[in-house]
Amino acid sequence: MVNLHRFANPNRFMRLSGLILPWASVVAVLTFPVGLYLALINSPPDYEQRETVRIMYIHVPAAWMALFSYTCMAAASAVALIWRHPLADLAAKSIAPVGACFTLICLVTGSLWGQPTWGTWWVWDARLTSVLILFFLFVGYMVLFDAFDDPTKGARAAGILVIVGFVFVPIIKFSVDILELRTLHQGASVSKLSAPSVHESMLWPLLVMALAYAAYFISLLLVRMRSAILAARVRSLRMMQAQRASRAAIVPERP
Partner 1 sequence: MNAFIAIVRRDVTLALRRVSDTVSVVLFFVLAIVLFPLGIGPELNLLARIAAGTIWVAALLAAMLSLDRLFQVDADEGGLDLLVLAPLPLEAVVLAKCLAHWLVTGVPLILSAPILSILLNMGGDGFLVMILAMALATPTLSLIGAVGAALTVGARRGGVLVSLLVLPLLTPVLILGASAVDLALAGLNATPLLMLLGAMLLVAVLLCPWAAAAGLRLATE
Rounded distance between C-alpha atoms, residue 62 and residue 209, angstroms: 9
Q: Are 134 and 170 in contact (CB under 8 A)?
A: no
User: CB-wise, 34 or 161, nearer to partner 1?
Assistant: 161
Mask for 131-160, x = binds partner 1 (CB under 8 A):
--x--xx-xx--xx--xxxx--xx-xx--x
**Binders of partner 1 among 105-134, rule CB under 8 A?**
129, 133
- How many residues sit close enough to partner 1 to count as binding (CB under 8 A)? 31
Q: Are 69 and 217 in contact (CB under 8 A)?
A: yes
**In the chain, helix, strand, coil percent, each to 5?**
80, 0, 20
Helix axes 200-250, 56-83, angle to 10 degrees: 40
Q: Is 163 in the site for partner 1 (CB under 8 A)?
A: yes
CB of 170 to partner 1, least distance (A): 10
Q: Are 117 and 52 in contact (CB under 8 A)?
A: yes
Pick from 131, 126, 54, 56: nearest CA to 99: 131
Q: Is 29 in the site for partner 1 (CB under 8 A)?
A: no
Rounded distance between C-alpha atoms, residue 223 and residue 37, angstroms: 27
Q: Is 161 in the site for partner 1 (CB under 8 A)?
A: yes
**Binders of partner 1 among 181-220, rule CB under 8 A?**
none
User: CB-wise, 118 or 168, nearer to partner 1?
Assistant: 168
Q: Is 82 in the site for partner 1 (CB under 8 A)?
A: no
Residue 166: strand, helix, or coil: helix
CB of 100 to partner 1, least distance (A): 13
Residue ranges binding partner 1 (CB under 8 A): 81, 129, 133, 136-137, 139-140, 143-144, 147-150, 153-154, 156-157, 160-161, 163-165, 167-168, 171-172, 174-176, 178-179
